[in-house]
Amino acid sequence: MNYTELSKRISYILRHNPHEYGLLLDKGGWVDLEALISALKVLEQYKKLDVADIENMMIHTSKKRHEIHMGRIRALYGHTLKERIEKKPAQPPEILFHGTSRASAEKIFKEGLSSKGRQYVHLSPEKKTAYIVGKRKDNNPIVLVIDAKYAWSAGILFYPGNEYTWLSESIPAKFIREC
């Protein structure tokens, strides 16, 4: 079983298009694990898929994209669905980072960060991770520093995604500087 491929397929379903597979997410982004497995079994490569395969996928893939709880599964971040996935806010680390292209940085310094096609802005607690994310958009990306402690104290909400990702609906420009 190719766990990376399975992880990407499940991410696509849970983040972007559950309806294509006959699934309906609840307000927290959860779906019944057995329903997801049944939906995947329609595809030839997943005919023998079971819960153990999903659990092994989560153990053996480098990116923590999903969580399972009480027979349900959800994607932790990256949603583009029209229906808002509700998250519980939590106090973030003092600073967070965001990697972006040089072209986008100018606009961000003026207008702040917005989620664009996703439900949340993705932030990292590590500069290195933000740089890697920025490389997807620009060979020489800019890493932005988010004064998360100051933003939090001003009422900006942050949500844990996973150990490498924090989320926010938007970050005003006054909380952003170049690294």
Strands 31-32 and 158-162, sheet pairing: unpaired
Query: In this predicted structure, what is the pLDDT of residue 85?
Result: 80
23-26, long-range: CB < 8 A, 24+ apart: 25/74, 25/81, 25/83, 25/85
Strands 31-32 and 113-114, sheet pairing: unpaired
Q: For Cα atoms 43, 45, 46, give the angle at the middle one, nearest 5 degrees.
A: 70
* Same domain as 120, residue 46: no
Cα 1 to Cα 16: distance, rounded to the nearest angstrom: 23
Among the candidates 41, 75, 109, a domain finishes at 75
* Same domain as 104, residue 58: no
Residue 80 is assigned to a structural domain of this protein: no
| Beta carbons of 134 and 99 less than 8 angstroms apart | yes
- Rounded alpha-carbon distances, angstroms, from residue 46 to 40, 98, 131, 168: 6, 36, 35, 35
pLDDT tens digits for range 115-139: 887 888 999 999 998 999 899 889 9
* Same domain as 129, residue 71: no
Query: In this predicted structure, what is the pLDDT of residue 136?
Result: 86
pLDDT tens digits for range 82-112: 888 888 999 999 999 999 999 999 999 999 9
Residue 60 is assigned to a structural domain of this protein: yes
State the residue range of the domain holding 25: 3-75
| Beta carbons of 36 and 23 less than 8 angstroms apart | yes
Residue 40 is assigned to a structural domain of this protein: yes
Residue 109 is assigned to a structural domain of this protein: yes
* Same domain as 118, residue 53: no
Surface-to-core class of residue 162, CB atoms within 10 Å of its CB (0-12 exposed, 13-18 middle, 19+ buried): middle
- pTM (2 d.p.): 0.71
Residue 81 is assigned to a structural domain of this protein: no
Residue 75 DSSP symbol: E
Q: What is the total count of domains within the chain?
A: 2
Residue 87 is assigned to a structural domain of this protein: no
Residue 170 is assigned to a structural domain of this protein: yes
Cα 32 to Cα 81: distance, rounded to the nearest angstrom: 18
Residue 91 is assigned to a structural domain of this protein: no
- For all residues of the chain together, what is the average pLDDT? 93
Query: In this predicted structure, what is the pLDDT of residue 154?
Result: 97
The CATH number for 171's domain is 3.20.170.30
